[in-house]
Structure 1
Amino acid sequence: MYTSHEAAHTSRPAEPGGPAGRRGLRALIRTKDGWPVRQAVVTVTDLTGQQVVRAEADADGVGSTGPLAPGTYTVVVTAAGYAPAAMTAIATASGAAELGTVVLARQGGTDLPPPGVWTLDPAHCTIAATAQHLGLSTVRGRFTEFGGRIEIGPSPETSAVAADIVAASIDTGNGMRDDHLRSPDFLNAAAYRMISYRSTGLTPAGTDRWIVHGTLTLAGVARPVDLDLAYLGTGPDPWGGLRAAFRAETELRREDFAMTYNQVVRAGVNLIGATLKVQLDIQAVQGVSLP
């Protein structure tokens, strides 16, 4: 169902730029949090249903047309990922029709973060990995040094992720085990200091969920790795900034990254499982630096 809005139709003085200096229909298209919807399309039809004009919003979320013939029109505002909004507009004798602010609600999920660069906040992020031990229990570890950025595009599919992790920062709570994990048997942290991930694309996977396609470079080996990503929401922080939260996970096969070290402790049972479950809890701050 379309949402009905009453259109404002205030006359304004003639402005330069349009035919005879006259202004047409104008609307500010925003999310419920006040961010511009840059990819929005404004379609104007007359009372017979005939399309009169169609315009795309600019980078500030402003949709505008040339002057309209005086009369009543139906205006529909659409954008990928948002529920459409329909309203009535009345063009004055000067050809102007002011709609004011049109708020679009995201369809089937939480409103996405505004486009731009977002920086990972390591103090409020966790990058963890879990491996099976002796076929009975799990060993959990995490990386304590990393950084990265998320570039939110006008649509989710145009967004990108880049992250770098210091391999030697692995911490499982056991010094001897951590030293072994840093050795050439596993991370080979002396030869390959950084673990890196670069996204190559996103595919929708449900409400507030996407599959992030990318390349993981680990211990000198690069392999395609997909992340199952969930968006948790956006909100202000106590320092005047804006933060977005995400959760992602994937499963890696150790042999894909030349980590074939193992020991058979009894018939058919290895000391370490063949796969690793990786879980990421991410909090990113809007902008290129932390507060």
Structure 2
Amino acid sequence: MSTTKWVLDPTHSELGFKIKHLMISNISGSFQQFQVAVETDNDNFSTAQIRATAEIASIHTNNEQRDHHLRNSDFFDAETYPQLTFSSTKVEQLTDDTFNVYGNLTMKGTSKPVKLTVEYSGVTKDPWGGQRAGFTVTSKINRSDWGINFNGVLETGGLALGEEVKVNSEIQLVKQLATVTA
């Protein structure tokens, strides 16, 4: 059996999120700098070992003032905790193209287990002779589980920000040419 390594194509991938604002609409954001590395037995993604990192300083919500606030200690504290990380612990194949991926998400120095829902779009040959695999990744997390508690109370008694964060990512991986025999 051989181990296959897959690396992120950052040009064709995105690591996004949404959170309720004023409890009436969602604000979207993303991390502009992130990496994903995957190892599989041959090309079998049900055996995947996944490691991902995102640079907190690269957070982007289409509003520089908000991005700066998200980087400070009210939220992510990017100076003290410059990255968030995910490491898989288990992959559960549900159908030919659907997986649950379990792992540990670390933000602000706190690690918690999470479950990601992954839709596998398949593998294709690219115009340069390489192989690429595509995935849509979704999840929901509670930001306060990682100590991200900043909020504001509205005149109506509600909160400015929701606790639930929806993760929505498109990931394209490139198969590395060399395989290592295990």
TM-score by length of 2: 0.92
Point out where structure 1 has 5 or more consecutive residues left out of the alignment: 1-58, 61-114
Contact 1:118 1:288 in 2 (8 A): no
Residue 239 of structure 1 and its aligned partner are, at CA, apart by 1.9
> Could you tell me which residue of structure 2 aligns to residue 204 of structure 1?
93
Which of 120, 126, 146 matches 2:14? 126
Assess, with a 3 A threshold, how the Cα gap between structure 1 residues 135 and 232 changes in structure 2: closer, same or farther.
Answer: same
2: distance between equivalents of 1:233 and 1:157? 13
User: Is it true that 1:169 corresponds to 2:58 in the alignment?
Assistant: yes
Residue 151 of structure 1 and its aligned partner are, at CA, apart by 1.1
1: distance between equivalents of 2:45 and 2:35? 21
> 1:281 aligns to what SS in structure 2?
strand
Indicate the percent of aligned positions where both proteins have the same amino acid: 34
> Could you tell me which residue of structure 2 aligns to residue 137 of structure 1?
25
User: Is it true that 1:191 corresponds to 2:80 in the alignment?
Assistant: yes
> Could you tell me which residue of structure 2 aligns to residue 272 of structure 1?
161
Of structures 1 and 2, the one with the larger relative CO (CA 8 A, separation 6+) is: 2
Whichever residue aligns with residue 245 of structure 1, its letter is G
1: distance between equivalents of 2:84 and 2:113? 14
Give the number of the structure whose residues are more often strand, by fraction.
2
> Superposed, which structure 2 residues align to 1:44-55 within 5 Å?
none
User: Is it true that 1:219 corresponds to 2:103 in the alignment?
Assistant: no
> Could you tell me which residue of structure 2 aligns to residue 117 of structure 1?
5
Whichever residue aligns with residue 253 of structure 1, its letter is N
Point out where structure 2 has 5 or more consecutive residues left out of the alignment: none
> Could you tell me which residue of structure 1 aligns to residue 145 of structure 2?
256
1: distance between equivalents of 2:36 and 2:45? 18
> 2:154 aligns to what SS in structure 1?
strand
Whichever residue aligns with residue 25 of structure 2, its letter is S
1: distance between equivalents of 2:112 and 2:39? 22
2: distance between equivalents of 1:182 and 1:144? 13
1: distance between equivalents of 2:9 and 2:177? 11
Whichever residue aligns with residue 216 of structure 1, its letter is L
Whichever residue aligns with residue 192 of structure 1, its letter is Y
2: distance between equivalents of 1:207 and 1:240? 25
TM-score by length of 1: 0.58
> Superposed, which structure 2 residues align to 1:1-291 within 5 Å?
59=1, 116-154=4-42, 155-287=44-176
Larger radius of gyration: 1
Q: Deviations over 1:244-268 (max 9, x none)?
A: 0011110110110001110011233
Residue 149 of structure 1 and its aligned partner are, at CA, apart by 0.8
**Cα RMSD for the two superposed structures:** 1.7
2: distance between equivalents of 1:175 and 1:223? 29
1: distance between equivalents of 2:46 and 2:8? 20
Assess, with a 3 A threshold, how the Cα gap between structure 1 residues 205 and 150 changes in structure 2: closer, same or farther.
Answer: same
Residue 150 of structure 1 and its aligned partner are, at CA, apart by 1.1
- Size of the aligned set, in residue pairs, is 177
Assess, with a 3 A threshold, how the Cα gap between structure 1 residues 184 and 231 changes in structure 2: closer, same or farther.
Answer: same
Whichever residue aligns with residue 208 of structure 1, its letter is D
Residue 288 of structure 1 and its aligned partner are, at CA, apart by 7.3
> Could you tell me which residue of structure 2 aligns to residue 25 of structure 1?
none
Assess, with a 3 A threshold, how the Cα gap between structure 1 residues 268 and 206 changes in structure 2: closer, same or farther.
Answer: farther
